[in-house]
Amino acid sequence: MPSALHFRTIADLAAALDAKQLTSVELTQAVIARTQAVEPRVHAFNSFDVSDALAQAAASDARRAAGQARGALDGIPIGLKDVIAVTGQPLTASSKMLQNFVSPYDATVTTKLKQAGAVLWGRLNCDEFAMGSSTENSAFGPTGNPWDTTRVPGGSSGGSSAALAAGEAIATLGSDTGGSIRQPAALCGVVGLKPSYGLVSRYGLIAFASSLDQIGPFARTVEDAAIVLGAIAGHDERDSTSFKTDIPDYRAALTINRGPWKLGIPKEYFAEGLDPEIAASVEQAIAFYKAQGCEIREVSLPHTQYCLDTYYVIATAEASSNLGRYDGIRYGHRSTAAKDAVDIYAQSRAEGFGPEVKRRIILGTYVLSSGYYDAYYLRAQKVRTLIRQDFLHAFRDVDALLTPTSPVPAFKLGEKADPLSLYLCDIYTIGVNLAGLPAISVPCGFTKSGLPIGAQLIGQPFQESNLLAIAHAYERAHEWSAQHPAL
């Protein structure tokens, strides 16, 4: 029995649209109806515009009727994390600081999706300014995990992962600074891809930590992730960190590259703190690849123990710098209680920023301060180089690395009140951002209580084609991606 429209894949729906078995308006109406039915329980969206989405869908149908369809994304509803700019739409970063801000321009990825004909659908909830691992830090309330709405969907892109898992979008975009695509993808049972740093433009992305942030897709399948990546990747002169490289046909590469591959298993990622059920599922994924003729090697990433410390020095330092623009004067929240010009800064930030954002700004300002810059920030940058060298050394002998995505399955809302316990949820994903590598999380099982488990594949820089092919080989032999929560 075919899945309901809101649970079908981009590839399947694009074929149905091409065959005139379906219209984009019908598809978009199905997604809207699903969203209105489950959103009160999930709270994946900060806002959505039904009439605008239907107008986009009607324009797609008109193009198709005129023989001008723009490809696999034309007419497909795609949600965007509320840190990605869309002209005329709210851009809040899930913060009171930007609660009433409307974007005057499009992010580059938004422009690319529009050029591909996608129906841009809604603003998705996240941890405030993308700072968090559970989407509990949003100023507009937490998002629930569709598999168990009393649990977190992961973060910071929890709205993006939850909306997709719940059938409230056909694909979504998120941003990944330390695991914010891959970790929520694992906790919600969907595919999440963090591209190589510089492959996808950051222009129009609200900055958290500029040397770590990267936009990427959430999708039901690896094939869908490849389709979306092909649409949003490419050099952008408006982003000084954008890398000039040829963009291959990622979707075609899924079947061209069939392996077998050499896969590395980092011993540091299977140590104390890893949930036994997650370990068992990832071990089964390793066994699958071995049975397919892949060479499995244990590798070492000896500086892994320093990843968390290094990340929270560099990321908070960059956050402190980036968030200095929210001063209560140029745009964003402005306090009405301020007594003078200097007080505007203090009061506006005190009222506009939430506790986690303040915590990171304070820490980042400290490590950048006179007398501490060399001891913390400069040293962290040197360790970052060692971490990247660990990965590059491992890639001399293997094509990709296979690890767990998250050390734990989705936990209860409010369960981890201690910030450090939340930070540790990203222990397997942070190193990838520090090294600027591509990585993907794919569903690889469920716990006994029915919570999704994800496996992470880490690839070589700008070798997304190979990474996606390796992930696709596992996915097509399993049915994890075809299972959906019973909301």
Active site residues: 81, 156, 180
Token readout for 23 is: 């219209």
Token readout for 368 is: 């950048």
Structural contact between residues 201 and 109, judged by C-beta atoms closer than 8 angstroms: yes
Residue 158 CA to residue 125 CA, distance in Å, equals 7
Beta pairing partners, 90: 102
Query: Residue 421 contacts by C-beta under 8 Å, 6 or more apart in sequence?
Result: none
Structural contact between residues 433 and 212, judged by C-beta atoms closer than 8 angstroms: yes
For helices 307-322 and 379-394, angle between their N-to-C axes, nearest 10 degrees: 130
Structural contact between residues 28 and 168, judged by C-beta atoms closer than 8 angstroms: no
Query: Residue 5 contacts by C-beta under 8 Å, 6 or more apart in sequence?
Result: 13, 22, 26, 27, 30, 31
E strands of 244-357, at which residues?
A: 262-266, 295-299
Query: Residue 188 contacts by C-beta under 8 Å, 6 or more apart in sequence?
Result: 145, 146, 147, 153, 154, 158, 161, 162, 164, 165, 410, 452
Question: CA nearest 160: which of 215, 197, 90, 210?
Answer: 215
